[in-house]
Structure 1
Amino acid sequence: MKLLTNWLAATARLPRQHKLALASLSLLVGAALMWQPHPFSSSRDRQPIPIPNDTQNITSVEHSEPIEQGLDADDPALRVPEDALEKDITSEAPRTHQHTVAAGDTLGGIFSQYGLPISQLYQMLDENDRVGDIRRGQNMEWQVDEQGRLLTFTLYQSLKYRDQYRFEQGKVAYARLETKGDREKVTVIGRVNSSFYQQARQAGLTPNQIQNLVSALQWRFDFGRQSRRGDQFAIQVDKEFIDNKPVSSGNIFAMLYRAGDRDIFIYRHTDGRFYDEQGQSLDRALRRIPTAKRYRISSSFDPHRKHPITGRISPHNGTDFATPVGTSVLAAGDGVVVKARKHPLAGNYVVIKHGREYSTRYLHLHRILVKPGDHVSMGQRIALSGNTGRSTGPHLHFELLKYGHPVNAMKVPLPEAHPVPSQERGEFQRQAKHAQQALEQRLNG
């Protein structure tokens, strides 16, 4: 009691403004002590799919993007322009995206890596509560609309069975599909008259099959720019037949493309990837970090990030590195610069196209060192990081896009230029040579 009396007496001698400040602080402390969140939250019968912690970040003033207005992933100024072949491929069917489950993967984590809507994952869970039971090495594929929402999602349980989810008008339909019938390899041939895409469609290939071929050869041959009238092709396809009638488009196993006096051959290995006749990779690698050394990540990729005040979803479609102004920015891979300019929100920025599947964006730059049309190599210096545009501090905002959709550059599987394993290469080369000779006979006959 004596301590309280002495404290009150000391307080009475304080200036008026100090008394007001002390009273306000006391009220705030009292209110904080009286308010406690309820220890329990309402539960539902549905169990949530685990989602990595880095996809649940809340926007704060420390994050580089302004909380009032984020960058639009579909802003025309930032988009990679499509050429005629890409428009042909997407005109008849949406692109198919693929993923092979790695150790430690969860379905929720995969959805977050590729920026797929978690709400649609819960719809799938309502239809089949075992959808999250995935295993290492399992294959899955999906198609999305222009807004990035799922149209179909397929999980391959075995060679015989696959689970397919189809989304339409806000609802999902689930079906367990079975592969039936006999499978045999057939060869389709064609000659380019107008475009490779049109002649491949006339030969019986689907848009997805053509997309797979174009992606496989994107670093060896550009069908959009290099194919010419008179070019020939022969393609070996594994088709399924019931009562001698084809019931599926099948998988492509080999292709021989004759462009003038140049022959281009690819063969699919047992890992599902295409290689040349020697077993060498057709891919070129990409790097996850576009700087010479690692810098702190100030804001992670998060398509589900929430605004701290409004509670609305404010996606962060890239990874922010806390780089000092003037840090060298390096190209994530070989490619062509398609944009290098200024944007009111992104500041100075660069967009690079890597083949036909991937592209990268580098935002808020201090200085741009390349121009549109430049061919760059992986690790080449393309800019200096900065603090331009709508930015709350010096940093590099880096985005990786797969077929135009933002994905998590720090986690998604990236192309690697590895050859067929040495212990498997001899058998691969034997089978590839046999297939190449068979396709040559078809073109020469």
Structure 2
Amino acid sequence: MKLLTNWLAVTARLPRQHKLALASLSLLVGAALVWQPHPFSPKERQSLPAVNQRQEPATVDHSEPIEQSMDANDPALSVPEDALEQDITSEAPRVHHHTVAAGDTLGEIFSQYGLSIGQLYQMLDVNDKAGDIRRGQKMEWQVDEEGQLLTFTVYQSIKYRDDYQFGQGTVDYQRLETKGEFESVTLIGRVNSSFYQQARQSGLTPNQIQNLVSALQWRFDFGRQSRRGDQFAVQVNREFIDNKPVSSGKVTAMLYKSGGRDIFVYRHHDGRFYDQQGQSLDRALRRYPTAKRYRISSSFNPHRKHPITGRISPHNGTDFATPVGTSVLAAGDGVVVKARKHRLAGNYVVIKHGREYSTRYLHLNRILVKPGDHVSMGQRIGLSGNTGRSTGPHLHFELLKYGHPVNAMKVPLPEAHPVPNDERRAFQRQAKRTHQALAQRLNG
């Protein structure tokens, strides 16, 4: 104690700048004493892509209390599946796709889509080059009902792809090589009971059916509009080795005849489907559900941790600090499937946009639509508020892809762009020839 008293007396006589320097040095020493090294060494982590796992304060103004996060799979907030969607998902999990953009890292992609960071580490453990990705690369993956990866594929080139298969705490990795020759195969069918059943009988896989249903979701609803007697012809590019098919192949075109109506789609080399004139089949979505941009009070973060308990408390949407009464706008064309009150979400609206996307709007002061309403992009659907569990007036906005929350501020959104002008004429010629060939198969 006497030593401490003498030390304090000496420091009290020091000039102010010396006192500040001494205080700074003390803080640095204290930080060094309490610092604990991360369980991963720098060498082990040097290839790890950037991952957003920031911690947030226990109470965020204009957001939800972190200790009571909303369940992304709460049936009250979910979009019900129709018969066609149930048929598709009953046989195989949905396939998600992503094209690497400039500046993307694998960690950021995982964060955007709410994928498990632990499974990303597993991939790096079995392949230390898993994080080496480049602009334009294609990726696809499947997840289970809990959002855990089942498969993850990275296409390195036309010839090679990296394939990851996940089990109970394990992952198998192999680089697969395309060795065969590709040929176009035409599959034909006639609807007797349901489009899905006849498509399966014709030789299409659940994933191929899913791709077609998603591509045509804005032009034709196979679950609601298909009728007995409808005909279809599908062109598939399959790989053969020694005249035996070794893959289910990729769908390149489809002609569907329903009554006096012909629906035709053709896949361009960019991997997207267009109509015969090269026009997009998509409807665009907007990132912001308000007329102007408001401050983001809490960002999308499926890996968010409570700073005290250390428990994962996901935040599956984006919170905007909007004043009470701010107009809330539909993010895209769609159908209202939920418009009601919830003990945590307050007044909320859920909109289904085709078969791939849906959006949620929570803590509203007032709801201006009802279930079954068809809404257009930018249409006013409610007024923001402070209902439910909330720490202040705000709008909680969620974007879901096939029922799984994704980061609306980051993920690529569908855009209604046609085939580029300099490629459109060649595209139209090839699409016309394919349309004629499929029509002949159906008429023959």
TM-score by length of 2: 0.91
2:54 corresponds to = 56
SS of residue in 2 equivalent to 1:153: strand
2:205 corresponds to = 206
Judge conservation of contact 2:336–2:351 (CA < 8 Å) in 1: yes
- In the alignment, the residues of structure 2 paired with residue 426 and residue 172 of structure 1 have an alpha-carbon distance, to the nearest angstrom, of 46
- In the alignment, the residues of structure 2 paired with residue 334 and residue 111 of structure 1 have an alpha-carbon distance, to the nearest angstrom, of 27
1:177-326 to 2 correspondence within 5 Å? 177-326=176-325
Amino acid at match of 1:420: V
- 1:37-57: per-residue Cα shift (whole Å, max 9, x none)? 54562442421623355x424
- In the alignment, the residues of structure 2 paired with residue 399 and residue 60 of structure 1 have an alpha-carbon distance, to the nearest angstrom, of 21
SS of residue in 1 equivalent to 2:171: strand
- 1:134-165: per-residue Cα shift (whole Å, max 9, x none)? 00000010000000000000000111111001
Amino acid at match of 1:165: Y
* CA shift for structure 1 position 309: 1.2
Amino acid at match of 1:60: A
- 1:103-138: per-residue Cα shift (whole Å, max 9, x none)? 000000000000000000000000000000000000
Amino acid at match of 2:37: S
* CA shift for structure 1 position 33: 9.8
Q: Does 2:34 correspond to 1:36?
A: no
Amino acid at match of 1:177: L
SS of residue in 1 equivalent to 2:440: helix
Judge conservation of contact 1:386–1:395 (CA < 8 Å) in 2: yes
Amino acid at match of 2:215: A
Match of 2:44 among 43, 46, 50: 46
1:98-247 to 2 correspondence within 5 Å? 98-247=97-246
* CA shift for structure 1 position 34: 8.9
Judge conservation of contact 1:114–1:412 (CA < 8 Å) in 2: yes
- 1:74-96: per-residue Cα shift (whole Å, max 9, x none)? 00100100000000000001000
SS of residue in 2 equivalent to 1:72: coil
- In the alignment, the residues of structure 1 paired with residue 214 and residue 29 of structure 2 have an alpha-carbon distance, to the nearest angstrom, of 61
1:407 corresponds to = 406
SS of residue in 2 equivalent to 1:441: helix
TM-score by length of 1: 0.91
Query: What is the CA RMSD across the aligned residues, in angstroms?
Result: 1.7
| Identity rate, percent | 80
- In the alignment, the residues of structure 2 paired with residue 310 and residue 40 of structure 1 have an alpha-carbon distance, to the nearest angstrom, of 18
- In the alignment, the residues of structure 1 paired with residue 163 and residue 334 of structure 2 have an alpha-carbon distance, to the nearest angstrom, of 35
1:72 corresponds to = 71
- In the alignment, the residues of structure 2 paired with residue 58 and residue 173 of structure 1 have an alpha-carbon distance, to the nearest angstrom, of 35
Amino acid at match of 1:69: Q
SS of residue in 2 equivalent to 1:86: helix
Judge conservation of contact 2:55–2:307 (CA < 8 Å) in 1: no
Judge conservation of contact 2:256–2:264 (CA < 8 Å) in 1: yes
- In the alignment, the residues of structure 2 paired with residue 330 and residue 120 of structure 1 have an alpha-carbon distance, to the nearest angstrom, of 36
Pick closer, same or farther for the CA change 1:438–1:47 going to 2, 3 Å: same
Task: Answer with 44-53 or 114-123: which moved more.
Answer: 44-53
- 1:288-309: per-residue Cα shift (whole Å, max 9, x none)? 0000000000000001111021
1:373 corresponds to = 372
1:377-396 to 2 correspondence within 5 Å? 377-396=376-395
SS of residue in 2 equivalent to 1:285: coil
Judge conservation of contact 2:368–2:381 (CA < 8 Å) in 1: yes
* CA shift for structure 1 position 170: 1.1
* CA shift for structure 1 position 66: 1.2
SS of residue in 2 equivalent to 1:225: helix
SS of residue in 2 equivalent to 1:193: coil
* CA shift for structure 1 position 205: 0.4
SS of residue in 2 equivalent to 1:314: coil
- In the alignment, the residues of structure 1 paired with residue 29 and residue 99 of structure 2 have an alpha-carbon distance, to the nearest angstrom, of 51
Judge conservation of contact 2:339–2:369 (CA < 8 Å) in 1: yes
SS of residue in 1 equivalent to 2:339: strand
Judge conservation of contact 1:100–1:137 (CA < 8 Å) in 2: yes
Judge conservation of contact 2:238–2:248 (CA < 8 Å) in 1: yes
Amino acid at match of 2:146: Q
Judge conservation of contact 1:57–1:302 (CA < 8 Å) in 2: no
Amino acid at match of 1:249: S
- In the alignment, the residues of structure 2 paired with residue 382 and residue 274 of structure 1 have an alpha-carbon distance, to the nearest angstrom, of 31
Gapped runs of 5+ residues in structure 2? 10-25
